[in-house]
Amino acid sequence: MRVTLAQLEAFYWTAQLGSAHRAAQHLNLAQPTLSLRLRDLRAALGSDVLERRARGLRLTAEGRALLPRVASIMAELRGIAGDDPARDVAGPVRVGLAEGFAVSCLPPLLAGLQQDHPALRPEWVVSTSTTLEQALLRDTLDLAVLLNPVGDERLHLGPLGAQPTSWVVPAGWGLAGPVTPRDLWSLPVISNPPPSAMHRQIAHWFGTAALAPARLSICSSVAVIAELVAGGIGAGLLPVPMARRYVVEGTMRLVAAEPAVENGLLFTSFREGVDDPKVLAVARTIGRVMRDIHYVQA
């Protein structure tokens, strides 16, 4: 049996939309017709390219290898027809965001994706960067924005720039700065748990003076850490854009540090070898939005 263009089109849209039902609707086909084309493709290739999961159909390893080749064929067809490629980026995509980044950047990212690819259906996961990195490796996320990733050769990293970062303290503490590790080591400090990027940044800064914070409290949420600092509980290390609202409210102060705090480095990340048009489209939009809102430094 030969592989046909109709079979490849059925496979492409089922992979994009995660459902044979939605793919049939998109192609204006009866679902039994689309299912027949998928069965014929399986017979022609001699292997399964899709498998059923609890939340719909997912690509097998053979399907992931095939999808980039089929996407190229679909792109050529769009070029011949003169279609807008943005219309063909559709369906669900699982996107993880480091929490400190998400607090400031998720609203413009939502608007940017709606503008660039209105048929995409992003599913957002907000957590610590190290948790997101592990989710990428487990294939439970398609793409993530990571802060100071640990790094794994199985992941592609696309640099976005530096996220401005600063020590923040309750306004009532009266610290003027620049603060040194010796100034803060005996005061309450709140951090994400190890091995998070925040915890590594804090440990490195205190380590420059061969110190460790004596009153370190652990909290898994960056947003809650900001509330705790604003409430007078302790000092923290936060993205500057996230802290500005509290500074304007008068509950928190940014303090300069000696030595200076290293800014966090942000990356888009997905598994090496992935050529899914949805993933690449989201990565492009994230880069564009970051440039438009001037969130990162070079």
Per-residue confidence (pLDDT) for residue 55, from 0 to 100? 60
Segment 176-196 mean pLDDT: 94
- The CA-based dihedral angle spanning residues 118, 121, 127, 128, taken in that order and rounded to the nearest 10 degrees: -60
Question: CATH top-level class for 5-86?
Answer: mainly alpha
Per-residue confidence (pLDDT) for residue 54, from 0 to 100? 63
- The CA-based dihedral angle spanning residues 131, 137, 138, 144, taken in that order and rounded to the nearest 10 degrees: 60
State which fold the 91-161+265-293 domain adopts.
Answer: D-Maltodextrin-Binding Protein; domain 2 (3.40.190)
Question: The domain 165-262: what is its CATH number?
Answer: 3.40.190.10
Domain layout of the chain by residue ranges: 5-86, 91-161+265-293, 165-262
Q: The pTM is what?
A: 0.72
Asked whether 220 and 100 are in contact (CB, 8 A), the reply is: no
Span of 38-47, 51-60, 216-225 with lowest mean pLDDT? 51-60
Tens-place pLDDT, residues 153-177: 889 999 999 999 999 999 999 888 7
What length is written for the chain? 298
pLDDT at residue 221 is higher than 70: yes
pLDDT at residue 149 is higher than 70: yes
Segment 68-77 mean pLDDT: 80
165-262 has the same fold as 91-161+265-293: yes
